[in-house]
Amino acid sequence: MKTKNQRKRTDKVFVDYNDYRDRAFGLKWGTAFAIDELNKVITDNKENDQNVIIELSQMNRKEIDDVLQLAFIKSKKVTIQLNMIDEHGHYYNNLVGNFRGFADLEYLYIDDKPIKWGLVRNISIVDSD
């Protein structure tokens, strides 16, 4: 029994146009995601290669203490360059944080994270413009 809104539909039959057989749907998407991840890694590597940190002068302990004391008194953030380089010979990004006056013989603490005194190459107060 047919209703008045019902249409006659034909069977959908898909016939290959030629001998070409495409990859399965899941394989296509898996490859697309892998290529996307590869492109992201390549872009990140290019950005990291262009981001070269300039070597700052080595400061002695008194100079470091003076900067930390001023930063603590004025409640300013500091930026620290560590005496550490990556596998390509570049310095790591500078650490930025607050010095809250905590230090001992081995460590100073920036945002409650311990940093060995011997790893500090240079320290300066961050301008808050």
Domain boundary among 34, 52, 70: 52
CATH number for the domain spanning 120: value is 2.30.30
* Cα-based angle 80, 83, 84 (whole degrees, multiple of 5): 105
Residue 31 is assigned to a structural domain of this protein: yes
* Pairwise CA distance, residues 119 & 84, whole Å: 7
Domain housing 40:
23-52
Is 18 among the domain residues? no
Same domain (yes/no): 66, 29 = no
Domain for residue 2, yes or no?
no
Cα separation, 56 vs 7, whole angstroms: 79
What proportion of the chain, given as a percentage, has pLDDT over 70?
A: 81
State percent of the chain over pLDDT 90.
47
How many domains does the chain fold into?
2
pLDDT digits (tens, 9 = 90+) for 4-16: 677 777 787 767 6
